[in-house]
Amino acid sequence: MTPRPRSRPARAAGLAAMLAALALLGGCAVAAPQATAEPTAPSGPRVPLSELTVSDSPRTLTGPSTALIESSRIEPVAVDPAQSLPATVVSRDLDGDREVVVADASRILPLDIAGSIAATVFALGFGDAVVGRDISTTFPEADGLPVVTSSGHAISSEAVLALRPTLVITDGTVGPTDVVLQLRDAGVTVVYVDAEPGLGAPAELARQVSAALGSPATGELLAERLEQELAEVLTAIESIRPENPADRVRILFLYLRGASGIYYLFGEESGADELIEGLGGIDVAGEIGWTGLRPMTDEALVAADPDLILVMTGGLESVGGVDGLLAEKPAVALTRAGEARRFVDMADGEVLSFGPRTPAVLDALARAIYAPGM
């Protein structure tokens, strides 16, 4: 399986706005809280994905599991990468494209809802220049950096300006937009990147971020590495998923923020569809014509009737775990997934991040789906 090509840049901007709205409505961070279920990953070296002993009937597996990536560390593609500034790039602002000249990237502040841009900056080898982080940037290399987002994903202009950044790289998924514009008016160079959510996003993000840093050759190196890693894990998943489409796991991605009463289904064009397809599953939200991010209805959930429901760990915690979700939303209990208590959760800052950790995310999710406990 190969990632689908990018199309309609406005789509990514629209999804970014919806994600930002959900984060602010939820009033809590898309970060990486502690898992509520027993870890499914062993502490020692893992058996290669293609060598796992998997169930002949993955649709019949029962019980919840947590997907844990083997390592959260970001491995730079280069040490002291070559850089040429000033660099002129196209900033994909929410109100249209514009040319931006980046003259100084000595103090970088990457901001987005999933920590993907920061992970990309570190993977390119420019981590030493990062001066702050959003609340979703949780990988070890970023430990100790001051957090500049509050109340979910709201940017504090005072916290940002106190760090004296020379370059802010964002994608519009954190805001408010007025605050970002204030930073620009204050003389901070702001570059918007726009990588459509999906399996093609990590490589595209590498190219766009590296261009803003004046190091396009390094971006190409990272993009090639990610594309190779992604191809390898997709091939491994193909070797363990059922060959017969009728035997493939029917999966639904459900976004939960219980305290705020937010229950959203992620459908086609949200990125969750490509993730599910990459995992060898069937995206049941797309099957019933669900597009983008839409509030969950009992009718849609029952019609989709998934075998497995994929959730963010923090979201599952916010509804009181599996028991709380089934009690709060009886329609969930009517699905095959609800009856079998078949939920797979993964850290909020990882599951839909679509950055350098995407191959590891796919690997971890595949283990939780096809061989839980292995």
The answer to whether the pTM exceeds 0.75 is: yes
192-196: long-range contacts at Cβ-Cβ below 8 A with a sequence spacing of 24 or more? 192/91, 192/92, 192/93, 192/94, 193/92, 193/117, 193/169, 194/9, 194/12, 194/13, 194/16, 194/92, 195/6, 195/12, 195/171, 195/354, 196/6, 196/7, 196/8, 196/9, 196/11, 196/12, 196/271
Name the more confident of 210 and 11. Answer: 210
Angle at 361 (CA atoms; ends 356, 367), nearest 5 degrees: 155
Confidence of residue 144 (pLDDT cuts 50, 70, 90): very high
Could you report the per-residue pLDDT of 78-128, keeping only the tens digit for each? 999 999 999 999 998 867 899 999 999 999 999 998 899 999 999 999 999
pLDDT at 21: 53
Strand locations in the chain (E) = 65-67, 87-93, 96-102, 108-111, 149-150, 154-155, 167-170, 189-192, 250-257, 262-266, 282-283, 293-295, 308-312, 343-346
pLDDT at 324: 94
Confidence of residue 23 (pLDDT cuts 50, 70, 90): low
- Rounded mean pLDDT, 49-70: 92
Could you report the per-residue pLDDT of 33-55, keeping only the tens digit for each? 333 334 444 456 789 999 998 88
pLDDT at 257: 81
Q: Is residue 110 within 8 Å of residue 120, measured between CB atoms?
A: yes
- Rounded mean pLDDT, 295-307: 89
Could you report the per-residue pLDDT of 340-359, keeping only the tens digit for each? 999 999 998 889 889 999 99
Structure tokens at 12: 């990514």
Confidence of residue 10 (pLDDT cuts 50, 70, 90): very low
Q: Is residue 198 within 8 Å of residue 274, measured between CB atoms?
A: yes
Please state, in angstroms and rounded to a whole number, the distance separating the CA atoms of residues 62 and 339: 9
Name the more confident of 74 and 31. Answer: 74
Q: Delineate the domains of the chain, giving CATH numbers in brackets.
A: 26-73+244-370 (3.40.50.1980), 87-225 (3.40.50.1980)
Confidence of residue 135 (pLDDT cuts 50, 70, 90): confident
Please state, in angstroms and rounded to a whole number, the distance separating the CA atoms of residues 41 and 103: 45
pLDDT at 44: 61
Structure tokens at 63: 């019980």
User: For helices 201-212 and 216-240, what crossing angle results, to 10°?
Assistant: 170
